[in-house]
Structure 1
Amino acid sequence: MTAEPARTPARKRARGAVTTVLAAVLFAVPVALAVCGPLLAPWAEESGPGAPYALDGRHPLGTDGLGRDVLALLLRGGASALGSAAGAVAVAYVIGGALGLAAAVSRHRWLDELLMRPVEVLLPVPSLLVISVVGVGHQGQALAIGAAVALVNVPAAARLVRAAALRAASSPVAEAMRLQGESRARVQLGYVGGSVLPVVAADIGTRVTGAVFTVAAANFLGLGLQPTSPDWGVTIAASREALLVQPWSVCAPAAMLVMFTVGLNLLADRFLTYGDTRIRTRRPRKEAPA
């Protein structure tokens, strides 16, 4: 009867460790391909082009509709697929986070309205509509698509940061720091900005996931990179009609996108769980009454 409760925390820790390792592997494989893949792609291209949608010993993952090696495309396509999405979310949080934090710590309602109302105008605009407009005028430019994805994520990032920072900015701790003569930068960036980080960490996994699939959808619809680009989204779009003939041409890049998004979200969850555990363990215990 007494052994089972003692085993439960150990089982939870073991399960959590397995989940962390699995998430790290799922996240690391596509990221490693995106970073190191272009260096290894020439080795995969040594076999030369082959027949369209061929499955032979010369090409480990077969070829695409143009006879290009799918493994080489997989090694070259991750940088644009993941880099554009990650960069877009980073830019969105830099701009939107700055606006939301400034609006939250402002003591003037007119300034709050001035900062947030123009941003909120963009909230109802569909993301694919913005990307379609940008894609028509700047087709084939990954930077333009990344900027469009960042633009559609700025309003959500600003509202999230503002909502998370409002409570901290009006808390007794912030008031005490102001009364003690702490600088505005220390109060606003040190305390209020630090209190927003867990919320941003919880949201960033979902937001990067959405950005990855938005960029992939733009490329899939032909609004992004050129049709011959090795980008994972473009490769899926170009080979989707031959899914039953040469499944690796579609399944391999799709698997990389799924692994990245699942691994990132699992890592974000584990990070938040670890942070909550540390906070609980650091809380001082109440002394027993004498």
Structure 2
Amino acid sequence: MSRVLGWVLLGVPLLAALAGPLSAGPVRAASIPLLPPGGAHPLGTDVLGRDVLGLALHGGGSVLALAGGALALSYLAGVPLALAAVGQPYRWADRWLTRGLDLVLALPGLLVLMVLAATGTRTAGALVVAVAVLQLPAVVRIVRGAALDAGRRGAVEAMALQGESWWRIHFGYIGRGVLAPVAVDAGGRLSLVLYLVASANFLGLGLDPATADWAVLVERNQEALFLQPCAVLVPAALLVALCTGINLTVDHHLATGRGPRTRTS
């Protein structure tokens, strides 16, 4: 039951985000603001007079793009950093890297985003980098733990005795060994990244206030919640369904033991 529910909750917002812009017309202010649901506008209009259904169909792409970009950047930086830290011979460098990243890990994510918004840096690129940096310490820890385990295998000693290069051992063999933990972690971490991206857009950081983005729509229409609830509840429900669907799907995947496996020597 949870598997079906997870796929439904995940599939609906994904379908709306990916296929919605193809089926919906252009989003523009073409009617009276805050109209209730009716014939011409099945979900009513928002505070700018835009069709809520059209906004909902257009608003998921930016959420997925920002969250996906931040998640990819955190792993593109974290995986090589962790592998290099584990592979180098100076233990003090590994310790200092871990301690330095612990300082970032201790920072509350929302507080960092609020400070960033207060500085006036509100671009989408800044948001992606900020969220990626906030995820970097946890990513490095996950990869570092997996790399230490993979580095204790006999195959690593055998490759070293055969004269294999440091790069081939640590970024080749051990790098392949951490792919499974990284894939599992990425599935669960995506919901956290989505939460941070949505919260940042709600705070006005990242996207223009007129953008058709689910989080921006919630922020722009929150004062009209009781006048036109669909303008707030529909995009909010899509965000909640996306995060919940990801969590349920990943949890079921792990519980049934069908997660990615590492190769053993």
Compute the TM-score of the two structures, normalised by the length of structure 2.
Answer: 0.85
- Residues 152-200 of structure 1, C-alpha deviations (whole Å, 9 max, x = no match): 1111111221122112112323223322444433422333222222222
Report the Cα offset of residue 244 of structure 1. 3.7
Task: Indicate the residue corresponding to 2:220 in structure 1.
Answer: 238
In structure 2, do the counterparts of structure 1 residues 267 and 110 end up closer, same or farther at CA, with 3 Å as the change threshold? same
CA distance in 2, matches of 1:277, 1:204: 12
CA distance in 2, matches of 1:233, 1:258: 11
Range 58-67 or range 198-207, more displaced: 198-207
Report the Cα offset of residue 44 of structure 1. 7.1
1:147 aligns with 2:129: yes
Task: Indicate the residue corresponding to 2:56 in structure 1.
Answer: 74
Task: Indicate the residue corresponding to 2:20 in structure 1.
Answer: 37
Task: Indicate the residue corresponding to 1:89 in structure 2.
Answer: 71
Give ranges in structure 1 of 5+ residues lacking alignment.
1-14, 284-290
Residue correspondence of structure 1 range 213-252 to structure 2 within 5 A: 213-252=195-234
CA distance in 1, matches of 2:10, 2:106: 32
| 1:88 counterpart SS class | helix
Choose the corresponding residue for 2:94, options 66, 88, 112. 112
Report the Cα offset of residue 211 of structure 1. 1.2
CA distance in 2, matches of 1:143, 1:186: 33
| 1:62 counterpart SS class | coil
Range 85-94 or range 105-114, more displaced: 105-114
CA distance in 2, matches of 1:35, 1:28: 10
1:61 aligns with 2:43: yes
Give ranges in structure 2 of 5+ residues lacking alignment.
none
Report the Cα offset of residue 114 of structure 1. 4.8
Report the Cα offset of residue 232 of structure 1. 0.6
| 1:42 counterpart SS class | coil
Report the Cα offset of residue 269 of structure 1. 3.6
In structure 2, do the counterparts of structure 1 residues 102 and 42 end up closer, same or farther at CA, with 3 Å as the change threshold? same
Identity %, equivalent residues: 44
1:173 aligns with 2:155: yes
Compute the TM-score of the two structures, normalised by the length of structure 1.
Answer: 0.78
- Residues 230-275 of structure 1, C-alpha deviations (whole Å, 9 max, x = no match): 2111111222333344332122212221222223233334544566
Task: Indicate the residue corresponding to 2:169 in structure 1.
Answer: 187
Report the Cα offset of residue 111 of structure 1. 3.1
Aligned letter for 2:110? L
Contact 2:74 2:139 in 1 (8 A): yes
In structure 2, do the counterparts of structure 1 residues 198 and 122 end up closer, same or farther at CA, with 3 Å as the change threshold? same
Range 210-219 or range 135-144, more displaced: 135-144
Task: Indicate the residue corresponding to 1:6 in structure 2.
Answer: none
The structure where helix makes up a greater share of residues is 1
In structure 2, do the counterparts of structure 1 residues 44 and 124 end up closer, same or farther at CA, with 3 Å as the change threshold? closer
Report the Cα offset of residue 22 of structure 1. 4.7
In structure 2, do the counterparts of structure 1 residues 200 and 108 end up closer, same or farther at CA, with 3 Å as the change threshold? same
In structure 2, do the counterparts of structure 1 residues 278 and 116 end up closer, same or farther at CA, with 3 Å as the change threshold? closer
CA distance in 1, matches of 2:258, 2:152: 23
1:209 aligns with 2:191: yes
Range 93-102 or range 236-245, more displaced: 236-245
Contact 1:80 1:142 in 2 (8 A): no
| 1:89 counterpart SS class | helix
CA distance in 1, matches of 2:157, 2:10: 41
Report the Cα offset of residue 87 of structure 1. 0.9
Task: Indicate the residue corresponding to 1:131 in structure 2.
Answer: 113
Report the Cα offset of residue 149 of structure 1. 0.7
- Residues 81-120 of structure 1, C-alpha deviations (whole Å, 9 max, x = no match): 2211111011011111211121122232133235434333
